[in-house]
Amino acid sequence: MNSGRSTEEFTIEKRGVLLIEDPLLNKGTAFTQEERVKHGLLGLLPPHVDTLEEQEERAYEAFCDFHTDIDKHIFLRQLQDENETLFYRLLLEHITEMMPIVYTPVVGLACQRFSHIYRRPRGIFISYPERDSMDAIFENIEHDVDVIVVTDGERILGLGDQGVGGMGIPIGKLSLYTLCGGVDPAKTLPIVLDLGTNNQERLDDPRYIGWRENRIKGAEYDAFIEQFVTAVKKRFPHVLLQWEDFASVDAERIIDKYRDDLCTFNDDIQGTAAVTTGTILAAITAAGGKLVDQNIVMLGAGSAGVGICLQLKQAMIDNGHSEAEARSHFYVIDRDGLLHSGRTDLDPLHQKLAQSPENLKGWDCDVTGTISFADVVRNSKPGVLVGATGQAGAFTEEIIREMAKHTNRPVIFPLSNPTSRAEAIPSDLLKWTDGKAVIATGSPFDPVEYNGVTHYIAQCNNSYIFPAMGLGILASRARRVTDSMFMAAAFALKETSPALKDPAASLLPSLTTIREVGRKIARAVAAAAIEAGVADSITEEEIDQRIEETMWTPEY
């Protein structure tokens, strides 16, 4: 297994203060006396030599001294910039407590306040005025890179356009690649594409550190993305490139254009679809049902909602349904109501999920005009309800009670994050369904007591999928990312669900086991890549060996 890098490899390049200031090499007070002599550190550190365990205990004590989540986030980011080995050891020891601080929901506030809490450079910023200098920018990255996460900051979580503040997302995502998937942090690179912002609050902020112009769109935007992809392929031809938090209209177009051009995926579309598919499959099974028997209502027709439905639809097709039969089970709702084939405003992607008029016959509403969320739930009698709207409270008591009339164990997933944007809170969902709801959320929620029963709320978080995808891709040396690899990840995640053995348990495994869960998913992803012909042809034993060799652990 790959552990922390040896200082011996860097004695020529880094000594003294330069060594201490490199977060990938710095051991701080854990440098031994011999190392201090050899690497020019005498007198630069206090005399006591700590173990990593002692450093972790000190760091946790400092973490606990902060009283607000944003201050805890700033502390952890500062620690990451000082000593990455200690940072990841601390996170692993306290993963349930700290993952929400490093990533959702606190990372949303960190993005909003990015220009005010900015301390030290991490990753690269490519602004529109510097678009013709991309090759030079990438040449400034001297180390090898296995994984890039990139955003343009236009649709950060449920918070919208944050401009250059969106850099908090690639930084956070890559932290989870290492924490959950064991990807070497020395081989990751966060990138923000700064094409301006339409967020007037950011433009008016004297502390804003991004390019102070309105967003570039249209042909200029597409040309910029083309330049970016070309520069990435030139500098890092074998890298895994993950797109993150782009506006839906751009996200779908970008992944469609470049998915066969390099090893790439969009986590909001494909990762969200995989984790939600796996969790829904576990929920349906735990409730005693079958996917092919479910009517599924999706509130929200953005990239996440559409991606989830398309993957679930494919799972139904793989289970024997025709395309038309599978589509008849999905009721997708956007701001103008149900997607149906009588509407003339649907783009080709949404047409793949449009309901046919035959399936709406007998509904007790006007099916020629706008068909509301309430109309859909009342008439379709769904067993599964998913929210991907960013609209707090969109799942009302009236609608949830209506749903609960027609199914014994309603599966309800309010997935929007951060927490303030959730479509409903679990305690309300349990109250409105008399404790029958099977729930997963996008942001973390505490367990809920209802009628003497403790309900554990699974966080349907992409962190179960994308780090394991990265691990499986790197271990198998996959050249492309296929839909079958995401489907394999979803089914592998389902099989790890504690609820399959105990219906009262959480739908998803504890975060404390996420590295082992990641190994299982990575194996399935690697096998699917091999079967698809986009990776090295190796045996199951060789897959396991490569996974262990690829995984980095936070040790000196």
372 token code pair: 């509301």
Question: Which residues are 156's β-sheet partners?
Answer: 160
**Per-residue buried b or exposed e for 531-544, using 16+ beta carbons within 10 Å of the residue's own CB:** ebebbeebeeeebb
Q: Is 103 a catalytic residue?
A: yes
In Å, what is the CA distance from 405 to each residue of 346, 401, 402?
Answer: 32, 6, 5
Question: Which DSSP category does 245 fall into?
Answer: S
Question: Among 72, 88, 103, 221, which one carries the catalytic annotation?
Answer: 103
CA distance 140 to 252: 30
**One-letter amino acid for residue 115 of the chain:** S
| Nearest-5° Cα angle at 311, 305 to 316 | 125
137 token code pair: 């920018």
**One-letter amino acid for residue 298 of the chain:** M
Q: Coil, strand or helix: which one is 307?
A: helix
CA distance 463 to 295: 27
Question: Would you say 461 is a known binding-site residue?
Answer: yes
Phi and psi, residue 105, nearest 5°: -95, -10
Written in H, E and C, the secondary structure of 460-526 is CCHHHCHHHHHHHHHHHCCCCCCHHHHHHHHHHHHHCCHHHCCCCCCCCCCHHHHHHHHHHHHHHHH
CA distance 529 to 525: 6
Question: Would you say 417 is a known binding-site residue?
Answer: yes
Question: Among 27, 72, 173, 187, which one carries the catalytic annotation?
Answer: 173
DSSP 56-96: HHHHHHHHHT--SHHHHHHHHHHHHHH-HHHHHHHHHHTHH
Put residue 383 in one of left, alpha, beta given phi > 0 → left and psi -120 to 50 → alpha.
Answer: alpha
Instruction: Tell me if 450 sits within 8 A of 429, measured CB to CB.
Output: no
Which residues are marked as active site?
103, 173
Which residues line the annotated binding site for (S)-malate? Answer: 155, 417, 461
Annotated binding site for a divalent metal cation: 244-245, 268
